[in-house]
A and B are shown apart, each in its own frame.
Chain A
Amino acid sequence: MKSLRLYALAYLAFLYLPVLVLPVFSFNNSEFIAFPLSGFTIRWYQGLAADTAMQHALGNSLKVGFATALLSTMLGLAAARAVTRYRLKGAGAALGFISLPLFIPDIVLALSLMLLLGAGGLPLSLAAVVLGHLLICVPFALTVLIARFEGFDRNLEEASADLGEDPWMTFWRVTFPLMLPGIVASLLLTFITSFDEFLLAFFLSGTEATLPVYIWGQLRFPERLPMVLALGALILTASVALVILAEHVRNLGAPKTTVGA
C-alpha cells in the first residue's frame, strides 16, 4: 500500500532527524546551533584532539566497556549453557531474576548501588560502574547466547564424544567454533551498551568520569556545544559500525535450511 509505505518512510525520517543533527552541525562553522547553516569546518573536531579531559574520560569509558563486555559475556555464557544444556528446576525463575534490572528504572538501580557502597564503606569508582553495567548487560548477553545455544544441535557434542574426543577437545573442536559468532556478538553489544550508558555512570563513577558523564558536564557551556556534537557524531558512527558488525557476526554460521532431498 502506497500510503503505508509513505508513512513508514516519514516515520523513519522522524527517527533519524535528531540523530542527524549531530553530524550536520558538527561541521557547521558557527557556535550557535541554529539555521541557517554557516559553511563547512572541521575546527570542532580539531578542538577535540586537544581536549585532554575528554580523552581521559574516553579512556575510562573504554576500560569500563571492555571490563563489562568481558565479564557479562563470561557470566552470560555460563548461565546460557546451564539453562540450555541441563534440566534445572527453577531455571525460569533464575532467568527472570537475572532479567529483572531491565524492568527497574536506572535511577533506582544507581541509587541502590550507592547505598550498597556506602554501607560497605566503598568509594564511588569505575569498578562500581562496572557492577552497575553488569546488571543491565548480563541479560543482553544471555539473550544472544541462549539463542545461539538453542540453535545448536545438541547431538553435535555427543557425536564428537562418540567419535572419540574427550570433553575438552569436544569443546575446542565443536562447541567453541560454533559459539564464537554468538560470543563476539555478545561482546560487541555489551560493550556498546556500557560505552553509551549515562545514568549509572553518573551516580557511581565518583571522580573518574566516563565519556557520557563528561559530555553531561559540558552541556551547560553553550560555547562548547559544537565540540560536544562533534564528539557525539564520532560516537554515533562508531556505535553504528559496531552494531552492524555485531549483527553480521551473529548470523555467521547460523544453521541454514538445507537443499531438499
Chain B
Amino acid sequence: MSFLSLRAVTKSFGGPAVVDAVSLEVERGEFFALLGPSGCGKTTLLRMIAGFETPDSGAIVMDGETMNQVPPHLRPTNMVFQSYAIFPHLNVFDNIAYGLRKLKLPKSALRSKIEVMLATVRLEGLEDRAADQLSGGQRQRVALARALVRAPKLLLLDEPLGALDKRLREAMQVELRAIQRKVGITFLLVTHDQEEALSLSDRVAVMGHGKILQVAPPRALYERPNCREVADFIGEINFFHATVREIATTGVTVNAGILGIVTLPRDNLTNGIKEGDHILLAIRPEHVGFADAGVAGEITASTFLGERNHFQVCLAGRSEPVAVSAAAAPSGQAVHLSFPPQFLIGLPSGD
C-alpha cells in the first residue's frame, strides 16, 4: 500500500480551482517530485499535505489515516520552507532542537541527537552560531536538520534550493539525494526546475493548471511525455504537425508535412489517439541528425556549449527553426536533417 494517497483533492481561493481533483500515490521511501511552472498549484498541494490549507473536497491519506481534519502540528510530516524560516532569536542548536521539546529528552540524549544531525547535514561545530550569521547554504541545511531530527514519516520540501547559486545548488542536490538514501524517509519535493526534479527523484508528477499531467520516473518522462505541456516543460523538444493515417501493430503511419510520410513504433503514440486525428510529432534535439540526404535546411544560428553544439536550422515551409544538438558541427550552412522514426513521439495536438 502506498504511504501517501491523495484522492481527488480540490482547492480554490474563490476563483477557478488552483488544485483540480488531484489524485496521487506516493510510495514509502520514495524521493518524489512535484514539477510544474509557477501557478500550477504544486505549492498549494504541498501546503495541504502539510496541513496549512484545507482541501475543499477530496481526501489526504497518510499511512492509512485520513488527515484532512488533523492540524499541522499533529501530522507525521515536516516541511523545509522555501524561505527556510529559521527562528532568528535562536541559535543553530536551539533551532534544530525546537521540535524535540515535547519529547523531554535528558540533556545528554538531546545533545547527541543534535550532533548526529549536524554531522548528517555537514554543519559540525556550528551549534552555537546565531541565526543571522549563517550563509544561505547553511540556513538551508539547518532547516533540513530541524525537520529531519524529528524523523517524520514524510519530508516536504518547498523549492528548497531555489535561492542558492548554481554551484551550491548542484552540490546540495547531490547531498540531498545521499541523505534521503541514508535516512530512508519518503521525500516529497516541489520545484519548477525540471533538471532538479529529474536528477533527484525516483518518480516525478508534472502539474499544469492545477491538474496532474503525467506521473513517471524521470527517464520515462523525458523519453515518453504523454502530452504537449509535459514534452515542452521537460528539456527542449521540436514539434511538427501531423495527421494519423493508419494504426497497425507493426507501426503507426502519419502524414507529417515537410517530414513526409513516416512510420513510428506503435509504442511511441500516446494512448487514445485514433486514425484521422491531428497530432504533434515530437523529437528531441539530440535525436535529430545531420545526414547527406533528408529534409533540406539552412543553419541560422549555432552555439558552442562545451561538449555539444546547439544549432537552429531553418526548413523551407516552416517558420520556426528546428533545434539540433550534435557533437560535431557540419561544414557549411546548407544541411540535410534526418529524423529517425524510432525517436519520433506522437502526442495529442490539444485542439
Residues of A near any B CB (own CB < 8 A): 153, 155-156, 158-166, 170, 173-174, 177-178, 253, 255-256, 258-261
Contact = CB atoms under 8 A, between A and B. Distances in A.
A173 B95 CA distance: 11
A261 B168 contact: yes
Nearest to A257: B132
A261 B135 contact: yes
A153 B88 CA distance: 10
Contact of A163 (B82, B135, B146, B165): B146
Nearest to B50: A162
B3 interface: no
Nearest to A87: B13
Contact of A174 (B74, B87, B133): B87
Contact of B85 (A155, A165, A256, A258): A155
Contacts of A173: 98
Interface string B41-71: 0000000001110000000000000000001
* In the complex, the 7 A-B pairs of residues with the closest C-beta atoms, listed nearest first: A163-B99, A155-B85, A261-B136, A159-B85, A161-B72, A261-B135, A155-B81
Contacts of B83: 153, 155
Contact of B134 (A155, A174, A177, A259): A259
A259 B133 contact: yes
A161 B70 CA distance: 12
Contacts of B78: 162-163
Contact of A164 (B82, B102, B132): B102
Contact of A166 (B73, B79, B165): B73
A164 to B, nearest CB: 5
A177 B102 CA distance: 19
B81 to A, nearest CB: 5
Given A155-B82, A174-B87, A258-B133, 18 more contacts: A155-B81, A155-B83, A161-B73, A162-B72, A162-B77, A162-B79, A162-B147, A163-B73, A163-B98, A163-B147, A166-B71, A255-B88, A255-B132, A258-B134, A258-B139, A259-B134, A259-B135, A261-B168
A163 B146 CA distance: 8
Given A155-B83, A258-B139, A164 B73 contact: yes
Contact of A158 (B52, B87, B164): B52
19 contacts: A153-B85, A155-B85, A158-B81, A159-B81, A161-B73, A162-B51, A162-B73, A163-B99, A163-B147, A164-B73, A166-B73, A177-B89, A178-B88, A255-B132, A258-B139, A260-B136, A261-B136, A261-B137, A261-B164
Nearest to B156: A162
Contacts of B52: 158, 161
